[in-house]
Amino acid sequence: MDVTTVNVSSPYEEFARFYDRAMGDAIAPLIERNFERSRWRYGIRFKSAADLGCGTGRLLLSLSRHCNVIYGVDRSAAMLAEARRRIANKNIHLLRQDLRTLQLPRRVDLITCTFDTLNYLATPNRLKKAFQHIVNNLSDGGHFVFDLITGAGQRMRRQTIRQRLQLSNAEAEWRITMDGQIHSSRVEMLWLSRGQNGCLKRWREVHVQRWYPLRWLCGLLVRCGLLVRGIHNAATYDAATARTFWAHLVACKRPSIRRS
């Protein structure tokens, strides 16, 4: 049996077409529920919005129920292609951009960034640049709703987990290494998939994320011009504690001070 081996140069290049079945469909309802809870709890009103790291576009469809000006932003062309199929005939604009150089066509009232997208920014300086550009693209008083892995409870711990995944046209083994000493996680995906032509293809993708502790994160948000309104456990929506590993945060842009 002939098997083609493919070298994947960036995350989601091949994984995009399996993303929803592998994990997106399972996590998306939780992401959407957290957003709706925060929208009501914090009285978030918006006429325009952008979803950063929009992936295959599920949250974009949820946002489209509340406003008419919506941007979906992702650096992965493959993920944007999946999103384009999902949002067909919707008035949603897709942009291929990096969060560190974000430039929307106009400022918006709401920016979301979910499913630990920000953890792909592997240094504090990269995260700071992203926050600064997010603030620059928000209207005064606009809200920033996002989630992020903090790494709480994993300090000095290192563990490797292996997962096997079986889909109708693909199978995979994931090697997940969580390292509290360097505050990061690494997922190595080894895939065997069948293409539309019926041929088998073997490929490998690696995803690396950096964890950021809540106290430091909140300080950075304030320094970038954002007021933190609420912090929740992303898995339960309970109030966050010092041991919250995955946090859901709501922040708003402080109004600019105009000098007379």
Two structure tokens written together for 11: 């995350």
Instruction: Provide φ and ψ at 258, rounded to 5°.
Output: -95, 130
Two structure tokens written together for 31: 């992401």
Fold of 15-151+212-253: Rossmann fold (3.40.50)
Write out 77-112 in H/E/C secondary structure.
HHHHHHHHHHCCCCCEEEEECCHHHCCCCCCEEEEE
- Distances, alpha carbon 135 to alpha carbons 62, 99, 115, 202, 254, in Å: 23, 12, 20, 41, 9
Domain boundaries, the chain: 3-9+153-210, 15-151+212-253
Answer left, alpha or beta for residue 116, where phi above 0 means left and psi between -120 and 50 means alpha: left
Q: Using an 8 Å Cβ cutoff, are 100 and 133 in contact?
A: yes
**CATH of the domain spanning 3-9+153-210:** 2.20.25.110
Instruction: Provide φ and ψ at 70, rounded to 5°.
Output: -140, 135
Residue 214 identity (one-letter amino acid)? L
pLDDT tens, residue order, the chain (260 aa): 466 777 676 889 899 999 999 999 999 999 999 999 999 999 999 999 999 999 999 999 999 999 999 999 999 999 999 999 999 878 899 999 999 999 999 999 999 999 999 999 999 999 999 999 999 999 999 999 999 999 999 888 999 999 999 999 999 999 999 999 999 999 999 999 987 777 898 999 999 999 999 999 999 999 999 999 999 999 999 999 999 999 999 999 988 655 44
Say if pTM beats, i.e. exceeds, 0.75: yes
